[in-house]
Structure 1
Amino acid sequence: MQKPFLSATLALILSAGIASTAWAQGHSPAHIHNHAEKGGYRLAQSPTDVAQFTEEYFNNGDFAGLATLYDEDSIFVTPDGVKHRGRTAILAAFKKFREQYSALKGGDMEILSSDTAGLIIVNWRLIGRDGHADASGTGTDVARRRPDGSWAYAVDNPFGVARVAK
């Protein structure tokens, strides 16, 4: 059984050192990597972890966990095109989303990465408090490797090119 972040239609995960078969066989990120921790939180060890931990932390309402996935110069773009920079602004935006939506569900994902940067392309849905999918999109995100070897978002753009194409 696949983890919630990946749908049954997952076609491909490309990531340095990550075997997509391990995730497809139901292993959690902790089984794929020996995760370092900081403040009790697993540190993302790949762009794949960044995307998967986002879903986990959002669904648990764990804003301290979400904070581990962003740096002070990270950018999060909301549907209105506002670019929130830094952990404080990004977490405030996430808190507004969490008030409206009960769950984030990831779908098909493709990751193209080098040793220091990764492009995350992922389909997602936000589930409203009434249980229906109220928002969806294809994120085009950029993750980067930190000096300690963990990964974080440089740019979290959940609406990808859809907003640009309007």
Structure 2
Amino acid sequence: MSENEKAMKPEDLTRLFVERANAGDAAGVAALYEEEAVLAYPPGSVTVGRGAIRALWEKVLADAPHFEPEQPLPTLVRGDIALTSTPPKDGTGARAQVVRRQADNSWLRVIDQPEFRPPTN
């Protein structure tokens, strides 16, 4: 993995996240987000901005969790905006990200909902 590798397709963001998170690279994970990105994590909270996202991932990655790659669902692209998603391995809920093409044609996350589970009745 190259620390400077950019996502040249929206789907690359998920792969790069897994690689960087498993390497304990919070700065590299945060670099996958736009400066003012919004991350719906931890559950029930919202983390705003690349700096806050980096600080959050520093805490999470300190425990050395292991992330498994997930097969992406088809990406929906309209111009410079795309919706990416993956189903969690346990088959419940969903993960979804709104991503935007940058001036250099790479892609960064703008809105990230890493875990959504429908309410149970």
* Same fold, TM-score > 0.5, yes or no: yes
Counterpart CA distance in 2 for 1:138 and 1:108 is 12
Q: Normalising by structure 2, report the TM-score.
A: 0.82
Structure (1 or 2) with the greater strand fraction: 1
Q: Is the 8 A contact 1:123 1:137 kept in 2?
A: yes
Stretch of structure 1 that moved more, 113-122 or 92-101: 92-101
**Unmatched segments (≥5 aa) in structure 1:** 1-29, 31-36, 126-132
Q: Which has the larger radius of gyration?
A: 1
Which consecutive aligned stretches of 4+ in structure 1 deviate over 4 angstroms post-superposition? none
Give CA-to-partner distance per residue, 1:17-75, whole Å, 9 cap, x none.
xxxxxxxxxxxxx9xxxxxx9xx501111111111101111011112321321111101
Counterpart CA distance in 1 for 2:103 and 2:42 is 31
Q: What is the percent sequence identity of the aligned residues? A: 27
Matches within 5 A, 1:1-166: 41-110=4-73, 111-124=75-88, 138-160=94-116, 162=117, 165-166=118-119
Q: Whose RCO is larger (CA < 8 A, sep 6+)?
A: 2
- Give the root-mean-square deviation of aligned CA atoms: 2.4
- The code of the aligned residue for 2:39 comes to F
Counterpart CA distance in 1 for 2:80 and 2:49 is 20
1:82 to partner: Cα distance: 1.1
Counterpart CA distance in 2 for 1:75 and 1:158 is 11
**Unmatched segments (≥5 aa) in structure 2:** none
1:113 to partner: Cα distance: 1.7
Matched residue of 1:140: which SS?
Answer: strand
Aligned residues: 117
- The code of the aligned residue for 1:105 comes to E
